[in-house]
Amino acid sequence: MEAADFEQVGLEGGVELYIRRDRRFKSARVDLFLPTLLREKHNTRLALIGRLLERGTRSLPDLQSLNRFLDDLYGAGFGAEVELLGDFQILHLGLEVVAGRFLPGGEDLLERGARFLREALCQPFQEGEGFSRAYLRQEKSALALHIRSLFNDKTAYAQRRCLEEMCRGEPCALPAHGDARDFRGISARNLLGFHRRLLARGPIAVFATGQVDPEQWVGLCRELFDWERAPEAPARPSLSPAPATPREICETQEVSQARLVLGYRTGIALGHEDYPSLALFNALLGGDAQSRLFRRVREEAGLCYYIASHLEPLCGLLFIEAGIEGDAYARAREQIDAQVEALRQGEIAPGELERARGLLRRGLWTLDDSREGLVRFYYQQRLAGCWRSRRQVEHRLEGVSRQDVARAAGRVALDTAFFLCPAPGAPRQ
Amino acid sequence: MRRSEQALLGERVWGDTLPCGLELYLVPKQGFRSSHALLVVGYGSIDRCFVPPGNAAAVEVPDGVAHFLEHRLFAGPKGDVGELFASLGAEVNAHTTFTHTAYFFSCADRLEECLALLLDFVFALQLTPEGVEREREIIARELQLYGDHLEWVSFFSALQSLYGGHPLGVDIAGTPESLRRIDREVLELCHRSFYHPGNMALFIGGDIEAEALREVVNGLMEDRGFAPRSGLRRLACPDSGGGPRVMELPIAVPRLCLGFRDREAGLRGGDLLRGELALELALDILFGASSDFYARHYESGLIDAESFGCEVYAEPEFCFCLVGGDTRHPGLLQEALLEELRRARRGDLIERHLARARRRAYGQLLQRLDQVESCVGLIHSAISRGGGPFDLFAAHEQVGVAQVYACLDTCLDPDRCQRSEVVPSGEEG
């Protein structure tokens, strides 16, 4: 029987600690997650907060002193990212510090780093009762610029537009970076109030991995997470079905290659008993360079430069993305549909299924070579309300038959086809 | 086998030159589940002119052959290479750079079978007219796709501003025109000339037994019956320099890039790695996230956190750095960057901040040891440039303030910088 991947400790105020001491690494890594359900206007607030937390703290009041502090900790990695996972928007603070035993002076950096992390989260640089007004003004402007620059990456743009059209009105359609039109209602003062409520009510999970002494770490965390908290579990909306007739949306832009994104609903989210079957379906369809889409649509039919599928585990969505010629829309759609349909009919060779199962199995067992991967694996489950060890997940994968995959495939329904087409000339259909 | 050690870090590397000429480096990383192997062929996009072994005369080949070969070898003598690796539970990939072609895989088990496969397919070039034609189409499409990609367009635009028609200024995959001139004969000539073990190095990292693995690799190579060989001679291409460049793309915000060529080009080994570190330290002190420049211009909105940055490319054949990012005011940013370089030559900026910049750089170097793949990459990066396995660490003990100042003159000279810009096209922006 393997040891659990993480030691779990619950602190007062609902702070969950997950600890994995791993001496293969030369550094200690801390990941703190504070999730909230995506909501209009709130998403813009959280996006700004993430940026402001990187700007300064009470004792390191500006960007330069903060960065110089991190330099002094031997280039400690620090970031306050605002991320999306399904219908959650998550404030994710990360810190990585080299262990003292590998440094010339032998100084311990983790405690200094952890105290800094707490200050960055709870005591951002303040002016009166709010964030700094100047910083907020600058970050609004930087965020607006960032939102505009997202337009530059056409592949990511097409992906985002598909999700937006497909899930309009649902939380998961909202972007992590918010909307510049919300800026007017956001002041330095009401934003800090919003942040304080989040700190008091949001469920906090802290993962520590690598060169960490569990006992010392728990003691330190008891001291650091000392503020009054009453966490509330967010109420998530139920999964929506696909429309009877799939939506088709076409946009033209000056791109040299067209991007096709197909969004499907599966009704099977992480934690659902059929999720392992869906995961295998995805692996077979477009999980890697040996999958159906890659071999049949790219290699054999030569219809695209890249093609792959991926799952959005929390809302049970599946996406297929491809870069194709502007006039290949109908042919690509036809080929892709044929591959999905074949899997629905259970046309799966035994060797093919075993190969896909092997792919997922190895993915599970090599997860802990990278700390980020292992942390995400468990944190996703935590958000989805389930907690299965890698061994349990593997066991469930072993039990999936060809018929199970076909059944999961039967629940995969196309919702939206988004086509970004080179101008001029719309797709010929 | 030669043993190199970094005692404080507890890292060691075994090196050997096998009888066939292949350089072998083994990097034990105890406890990791994945192994990573990297086979590096000394053949890159800049090798346009060379004297093939056994030839008297030099040849000039079309741009993009190294990349074309990399693609074509994946067709494999026994079927698609990606599929064969997948059947062993491994993932394989490759890339071509200016100076080399690298083939690499990660596997959870069956390392020896994967190595046999790797050392099989790279030597077995099989060309059919249809295969060459199809590859040409795929690469043409790849070129087209990258043509939309801001990072890529901006990078090559900067290189053109520095190197003009030299192969450094040409896309690694070639041009639509050069692709048309690549035929079977050229591919075979280049494969024969460069794909010899004497022009290759193999790096393997993971939970491995060095002695035993050396025997395995040696056995695999003996089976292939290569004899040591000499006579390959690379010729430098005419280098007339470039000039300012402006490109258009459908983007929202302009991107500015300033390029600087190092006059000290031609160094190798420790000298080159120290020169690279000195440049990185200088750029970090001047423009890094802790610099006065960054604080001032981030707050004024002239630069953003996402795209602004500096990169150093230091190889025995060339050395340059690029500085820039997205900005609403390219002219102002250029002036500010150049003014900062002038200021650094007058004042004591470097002295005041060197200790901090060094701590940061050293900590970040250490963190690269935390993954098998990045660790193997680190060792390769030192070896392929003529250094010893741990010379990147040694450089940190050797670079002093004088060397950092020196690179302000040899490379970061405001009077010798080249400007390139990508600007919004059409109605966007």
User: How do residues B375-388 score in pLDDT, each as one tens digit?
Assistant: 999 999 999 999 99
- Highest averaged pLDDT of the listed ranges A139-148, A230-239, A282-291, B39-48: B39-48
What is the reported pLDDT for A2? 56
A157 and A280 co-located in one domain: no
In a domain, A213, yes or no: yes
Residue A151 has pLDDT above 90, yes or no: no
Task: Report yes or no: A358 and A290 within 8 Å, Cβ to Cβ.
Answer: no
A200 and A283 co-located in one domain: no
Residue A129 has pLDDT above 50, yes or no: yes
Number of Cβ within a 10 Å radius of residue A265? 22
CB contact under 8 A, B148 and A359: no
A175 and A257 co-located in one domain: no
- pLDDT, tens digit, 9 for 90 and up, residues B104-113: 999 998 999 9
pLDDT bin (cut points 50, 70, 90) of residue B80 is confident
Task: Report yes or no: A262 and A320 within 8 Å, Cβ to Cβ.
Answer: yes
Interface subset of B 170-229, CB within 8 angstroms of A = none
Residue A425 has pLDDT above 50, yes or no: no
- Rounded mean pLDDT of chain A? 93
Domains identified in chain A, total number: 2
Percent of chain B with pLDDT over 90: 83
A8-30 average pLDDT score: 95
**Element (H or E) spanning B392, and its range?**
helix B391-398
Hey, what amino acid is at A54? Answer: E
A255 and A215 co-located in one domain: no
Nearest to B75 by CA among B140, B131, B137: B131
Percent of chain A with pLDDT over 70: 98
Residue A308: give the domain boundaries.
Answer: 247-422
What is the reported pLDDT for A1? 42
Residue B429 has pLDDT above 70, yes or no: no
Task: Report yes or no: B422 and B153 within 8 Å, Cβ to Cβ.
Answer: yes
- pLDDT, tens digit, 9 for 90 and up, residues B258-307: 999 999 888 999 999 999 999 999 999 999 999 999 999 998 999 998 89
**Element (H or E) spanning A68, and its range?**
helix A63-72
* 8-state DSSP, A158: H
Task: State how far Cα A64 lies from the chain centre.
Answer: 29
Cβ contacts of residue B223 below 8 Å, gap of 6+?
A: none
Distance in angstroms (rounded) separating the CA atoms of residues B323 and B310: 4
Task: Report yes or no: A421 and A415 within 8 Å, Cβ to Cβ.
Answer: no
Residue A428 has pLDDT above 60, yes or no: no
Name which of A234-238, A262-266, B114-118 the model is least confident about. A234-238
Interface test with B, best of A27, A51, A64 (most B CBs within 10 A): A64
A330 and A210 co-located in one domain: no
- Rounded mean pLDDT of chain B? 94
Helix residue spans in B81-183 (DSSP H): 81-87, 111-121, 129-146, 150-163, 176-180
Interface check A146 vs B, CB under 8 A = yes
Give the number of residues written for chain A. 429
In a domain, A236, yes or no: no
In a domain, A238, yes or no: no
What is the reported pLDDT for A300? 80
Name the residue with tokens 């990012």. Answer: B325
In a domain, A209, yes or no: yes
Q: Show the CA angle centred on residue B223, arms to residues B222 and B229, nearest 5°.
A: 50
What is the reported pLDDT for A424? 67
In a domain, A371, yes or no: yes
Q: Which residues in chain A are contacts of B362 at CB distance < 8 A?
A: 74-75
In a domain, A416, yes or no: yes
Interface check B75 vs A, CB under 8 A = no
A197 and A265 co-located in one domain: no
A170 and A265 co-located in one domain: no
In a domain, A286, yes or no: yes
Q: Show the CA angle centred on residue A197, arms to residues A191 and A202, nearest 5°.
A: 120
Nearest to B14 by CA among B22, B6, B4: B4
Residue A158 has pLDDT above 70, yes or no: yes
Residue B149 has pLDDT above 80, yes or no: yes
What is the reported pLDDT for A31? 98
Per DSSP, which regions of A198-301 are E strands? 204-210, 247-253, 258-265
pLDDT bin (cut points 50, 70, 90) of residue B208 is very high
Whether the ω angle into residue A424 lies within 30 degrees of 0, i.e. cis, is yes
Residue A427 has pLDDT above 60, yes or no: no
What is the reported pLDDT for B313? 97
In a domain, A428, yes or no: no
Name the residue with tokens 């994945």. Answer: B34
Beta-ladder partners of A77: A96
Residue A426 has pLDDT above 70, yes or no: no
Residue A12 has pLDDT above 80, yes or no: yes
Q: Which residues in chain A are contacts of B360 at CB distance < 8 A?
A: 70-71, 74-75
A220 and A253 co-located in one domain: no
Instruction: Give the DSSP letter string of B252-299.
Output: SS-EEEEEEE-TTTT--HHHHHHHHHHHHHHHHHHHSTTSHHHHHHHH
Residue A292 has pLDDT above 50, yes or no: yes
Distance in angstroms (rounded) separating the CA atoms of residues A334 and A343: 15
CATH code, domain with A315:
3.30.830.10
CB contact under 8 A, B289 and A67: yes
CB contact under 8 A, B371 and A151: no
A401 and A258 co-located in one domain: yes
Task: Report yes or no: A355 and B90 within 8 Å, Cβ to Cβ.
Answer: no
What is the reported pLDDT for B65? 98
Cβ contacts of residue A269 below 8 Å, gap of 6+?
A: A86, A239, A275, A313, A314, A315, A316, A384
Q: Give the one of B82, B253, B292 whose C-beta lies nearest to A289's C-beta.
A: B82
- pLDDT, tens digit, 9 for 90 and up, residues B215-266: 999 999 998 989 888 889 999 998 888 999 999 998 889 999 999 999 988 8
Name which of A104-108, A209-213, A269-273, B42-46 the model is least confident about. A104-108
Q: Which two tokens stand for residue B52?
A: 């093939």
Residue B329 has pLDDT above 70, yes or no: yes
A135 and A267 co-located in one domain: no
**Element (H or E) spanning A407, and its range?**
helix A402-410
Q: Report pTM.
A: 0.91
A112 and A184 co-located in one domain: yes
Interface subset of B 149-168, CB within 8 angstroms of A = 149-150
A40-45 average pLDDT score: 97
Residue B400 has pLDDT above 70, yes or no: yes
Distance in angstroms (rounded) separating the CA atoms of residues A72 and B388: 28
A344 and A197 co-located in one domain: no
Task: Report yes or no: A117 and A69 within 8 Å, Cβ to Cβ.
Answer: no
| Domains of chain B by start residue, with CATH | 2-235 (3.30.830.10), 245-424 (3.30.830.10)
What is the reported pLDDT for A423? 81
